[in-house]
Amino acid sequence: MSCFKGKYHDELVANATYIGTPGKGILAADESTGTIGKRLSSINVENTENNRRALRELLFCAPGALQYLSGVILFEETLYQKTAGGKPFVDILKDGGVLPGIKVDKGTVELVGTNGETTTQGLDGLAQRCQQYYEAGARFAKWRAVLKIGPNEPTQLAINENANGLARYAVICQENGLVPIVEPEILVDGSHDIERCADVTERVLAACYKALNDHHVLLEGTLLKPNMVTPGSDAKKVSPEVVAYHTLRALQRTMPPAVPAVVFLSGGQSEEEATLNLNAMNKLNTKKPWSLSFSFGRALQQSTLKAWAGKDENVEKARAAFLARCKANSEATLGTYKGDAALGDGASESLHVKDYKY
């Protein structure tokens, strides 16, 4: 058959479509224990389970924020955590009309013989884990594949390995009721221009969709989480309109209309940059048969983290910062963002870390 039609078919299509609702997007709060540790230490907060829990409670219970979100990606630990008052996070999200998602990959490993290129692991026992996560309330999953641009990169090996991994992950998710977010992130590191990024992005996305087709993935029940098409981190910046043009063109050339939505990653962009770029894309008058939204981690949490600094007395202030970013990005999905979100401390700060590892 062309695509796999299992028992979750209708649910997958409905959930994928819902996540792409205009005006909403995804909060990527799936930082692994190690990664969230880096964030916490940057605001001098100890990396304990309670602090990790407190941060997520700050976010998920921010008044008025959930209306701008259609999904939240969680790390496994968080899927089973509760508020201080004992309510499971999963229930908080569901009550707020937000689908819980789960990171299911187990990080990257280097491909021997390449110049630091990687593939992603996590396929072993993936079906069983997905079933468990579904039982715990998750309805979508995320798997991050990583590629880089260099003189010889990405190599055909890296492209094939990562595309194949994404496709295997995607079909296993669908067999077990989870909408797979397909994330082929091409790192922004480098001094290449935007045309080079466009070229690589188009080749990578074409390989991904060929692999998804080969593996019988139901495209209507998936989402794409790509990088925006931008110049390299060491190259001259361009305007949001230029980013929008190149990004949309790359998607038009590779992404079948059957995919309901694109939820961009923010990479190392500052909060404001990411919002402005997303807004420019939604304003651009060109063919867009899928909705364009966000799946931001750092670009939604940066100023919130700084405002919180781990202190109870700052929670309200931090929540206000978080709400401001959620609202700004919601408007960006509608192309109505006016750049007037009160810029919290750090909202314009680049979040680029060279050779970023989760």
Partner 1 sequence: MSAFVGKYAEELIKNAKYIATPGKGILAADESTGTIGKRLSSINVENIESNRQALRELLFTSPNALPYLSGVILFEETLYQKSSDGKPFVEILQENNVIPGIKVDKGTVELAGTNGETTTQGFDSLGARCAQYYKAGARFAKWRAVLKIGLTEPSELSIQQNAQGLARYAIICQENGLVPIVEPEILTDGDHDIKKCAAATEKVLAAVYKALNEQHVLLEGTLLKPNMVTPGSDSPKVTPEVIAEYTVTALRRTVPAAVPGIVFLSGGQSEEEATLNLDAMNRLDVLKPWTLSFSFGRALQASTLKTWGGKKENVAKAQETFLTRCKANSDATLGKYSGGSASGLASESLFVKGYKY
Please state the closest distance from residue 311 (CB atom) to partner 1, in A. Answer: 48
Please say which residue, 266 or 282, places its beta carbon nearer to partner 1: 282
Please state the closest distance from residue 349 (CB atom) to partner 1, in A. Answer: 32
Please state the closest distance from residue 296 (CB atom) to partner 1, in A. Answer: 25
Please say which residue, 262 or 326, places its beta carbon nearer to partner 1: 262
Residue 278: which residues within 8 A CB-CB, separation 6 or more? 264, 292, 293, 294, 329, 332, 333, 337
Q: Which three-class secondary structure string do you get for the chain?
A: CCCCCCCCHHHHHHHHHHHCCCCCEEEEECCCHHHHHHHHHHCCCCCCHHHHHHHHHHHHCCCCCHHHEEEEEECHHHHCCECCCCCEHHHHHHHCCCEEEEECCCCEEECCCCCCCEEECCCCCHHHHHHHHHHCCCCEEEEEEEECCCCCCCCHHHHHHHHHHHHHHHHHHHHCCCEEEEEEEECCCCCCCHHHHHHHHHHHHHHHHHHHHHCCCCHHHCEECCCCCCCCCCCCCCCHHHHHHHHHHHHHHHCCCCCCEEEECCCCCCHHHHHHHHHHHHHCCCCCCCEEEEEECHHHHHHHHHHHCCCHHHHHHHHHHHHHHHHHHHHHHHCCCCCCCCCCCCCCCCCCCCCCCC
Reference 354, options 273, 234, 192; nearest CA is 234
Q: Which residues bind partner 1 (CB under 8 A)?
A: 1-3, 195, 198-199, 202-203, 206-207, 209-210, 213-214, 219-220, 249-258, 287-289
CA distance 147 to 118: 7
Please say which residue, 66 or 284, places its beta carbon nearer to partner 1: 284
Please state the closest distance from residue 21 (CB atom) to partner 1, in A. Answer: 15
Please state the closest distance from residue 94 (CB atom) to partner 1, in A. Answer: 29
Please say which residue, 238 or 343, places its beta carbon nearer to partner 1: 238
Please say which residue, 25 or 260, places its beta carbon nearer to partner 1: 260
Please say which residue, 218 or 326, places its beta carbon nearer to partner 1: 218
- Residues 124-155 as b or e (16 or more Cβ within 10 Å = b): eebeebbeebbeebbbbbbbbbbbbbeeebbb
Please state the closest distance from residue 218 (CB atom) to partner 1, in A. Answer: 9
**Which residues have a catalytic role annotated?**
183, 225
Please say which residue, 219 or 321, places its beta carbon nearer to partner 1: 219
Please state the closest distance from residue 197 (CB atom) to partner 1, in A. Answer: 10
